[in-house]
Structures are given as structure tokens and as C-alpha cells.
Amino acid sequence: MPVRLVNQFLAQLALRSRSMTGDTVRSYAEAVVAWLRYLDDAKVKLVDVTEEDLGLYRNHLIAPLPGEKSRKSPVTANHRLVVAAELHRWGERSGEIRSPLGRHLVNHPAPKRAHSDIATYRRSSESYLAAVDKRLPRVLTREEILRLFQIARMPFRLMFRWCLTTGLRRSEICSLTLQHLPTPEQLGVAVGQLVTVELLRKGSRLHTIVVPPSLVEETRWYALMERPVAFRKDAEPIFLGARGAPISRASLTRHFRECADHIGSPATLHHLRHTFAVHVLHVLDCFAARGNPMNSLKTLQVMMGHASVETTEVYLQAMSVCSDAVREALDYLYGGTLCEV
């Protein structure tokens, strides 16, 4: 049955949300449902929830039960914990749901941090979040990219190319429309230069991305010669399935998974975005080292559509770890151990 106060919390969140896909509200709703089910099983009312209950919920999410290998990942667990805490913080401030947990969260606010920093948030002794392993972005090898593009079928192959060449997210690729493509006249003016495309990115922010003219020409050729007839006459997405329906994010992810499994690669679709970021940052740094004044990290931040430069810095770390100097050092150590043996 609908819970009025919880729906009110989600409705206010929806009004503030800038998500262009609705995923933010959907993920919050799923997290709230999981929290309410846990409280129901534990026979705890919303107005009686304490800090201890939130801590037990964390253990419930991350600790394996007998006969189970694992539960939720720390990142997923932290998302559900943050949503549960936000529900009770909102309830205390609005006066709609008074609880000991809500009073504690309002009177003892957590340190301010970026919204996207949940995964890397350093836990204090009083934190209710789970510890998260910090992983560097994964970069696909040239061989992986070549083999993936060889077996991917159209239009997925073209969509993969957009991911790799522009760093767009899967939702942004699927939302590309015919109106986004520069006209042949615009391509004619931009001979030898990059062309610009304006589109809404994560957070419903309008961004300008740069695209190689050859990618635009290939996409226009697909739209003209290979694109199926749209199921609906007013359908404007570029990439359509065989029946004329827009290709969904799930279908795009699923086809990439099939291709990656076929070549024996653990890569995911999002790793194409990682590959774009690390390679672009490397080229920008080399360009700056030749005496061209520029801020490589800020440039990449704009190209990636990141709201905060801290999010972009992880690619700087990944590039450093994959550098020639590191490879040379490891090769030296490997050779040295062989000589000793």
C-alpha cells in the first residue's frame, strides 16, 4: 500500500532532481522500499528508528548470510544507507517523521562533500557508511577495441564508436537524435576541424561536445541508408532496433557484454568512457609539455561533463599508473627476479 509520507519525500526529491532519465528518483524509490522492508522484517516503526538500527541495516546489506557468498556491493549498500538517512533527515526537518535517528542526523550533520563522492568518502569513526575499495578506471587495450568492433553488429558498433570517441555515457548515446547531427553544410565548413554538438548531459545540463567529422559522416550515412523505419513517425532517436524502436540502454549494455564475453574480456561498456578519458588526458598532457599553455585536467573535465574536477582526477591517477615509467620499472623488476633465479 502507498505510504503517504514517503511518497511526499520522493515527490519533493523529484521536483529538485535534474536527472534527464529519471534514474535518480527511481534509484531513491528502490532504496526506500528496501529500507521499509527491512524495518518491517525487524518489527521497527519509522518513528522509532535509531542510529543502531541504521548500523544493523548496514551489516545486513554487506554481511553474507549463511549459505550466501556475498550481499550488496559496498557502493550499493552506501547508496541505500544514504537514502535511508536522507529520508529521516527530511522527516525531522519537515516535522513529518520524527525519529531518534532523524534528530541525531539534524543535530550532528556529516562533513560536506561532493554528491558523487559517496564511493570514495573517507569514513570517520561515527560514519554509518560501509568501506569501499577504491579502483582505478580500466583502459581497454588496442587489441580488445579492434576485436570488439569486429564482432559488434550495427548499429551497436557505431554506438560503441560514439562512446569511445566522445566519452558520452550510455544514456547520452541512446538519447542522440537526428537534430543533434551537424548538417552537410556545417560539415563542409569544418573540413579538417572538429564539429560541435550540443546536447543535454547528466544532470540535465546543456553541454557542447566536440566530434570528429568522420564520425558524424558515418552516422549520417547510417541514418540515411541503414536506419530502420521508425516504429513511430515522430521518433527522432538516431539509433533504432530492427523493429524501429529506439535502442534502450539495457540493450546497448547487453550487446557489449555479449561481445566482450565472446573475446574473453571482462570489460564493461563504461570502460569505453574510461579509455577515452585516459587517452585524451595523455595527449593533452603531451601537448602542454610542448609549451602550449593549457589546463589538461580542466579541459578533460569539460569534455567528460563532470560537475566537479575531483571526479576527473581519478583519470590522472590511472594515467600515472599506466605510464611508460611504471611499465619500465615493473619490466626491470621482472627481469631482475629472472636473473636472480
Q: What is the pLDDT of residue 65?
A: 61
Domains recognised in the chain with CATH numbers: 4-117 (1.10.150.130), 142-267 (1.10.443.10), 277-340 (no CATH)
- pLDDT, residue 43, reads 93
What pLDDT does 336 receive?
54
What does the pLDDT profile of the chain (341 residues) look like in tens digits?
677 888 888 888 888 776 666 777 888 888 999 999 999 999 999 889 998 898 888 888 887 666 555 577 777 888 888 899 999 989 898 888 889 988 988 887 765 554 444 444 444 444 677 666 666 778 888 899 999 999 999 999 999 999 988 888 888 898 888 888 888 877 777 656 778 888 877 766 777 888 888 888 899 999 888 888 876 665 588 999 888 888 999 999 999 999 999 999 999 999 998 888 888 888 877 777 787 777 777 887 777 777 777 777 777 767 666 666 555 665 655 555 555 44
What's this model's pTM, rounded to 2 decimal places?
A: 0.72
Q: Supply the pLDDT for residue 257.
A: 94
Q: Give the pLDDT score at 124.
A: 47
By the 8 A CB rule, do 181 and 220 touch?
A: yes
pLDDT of residue 5: 83
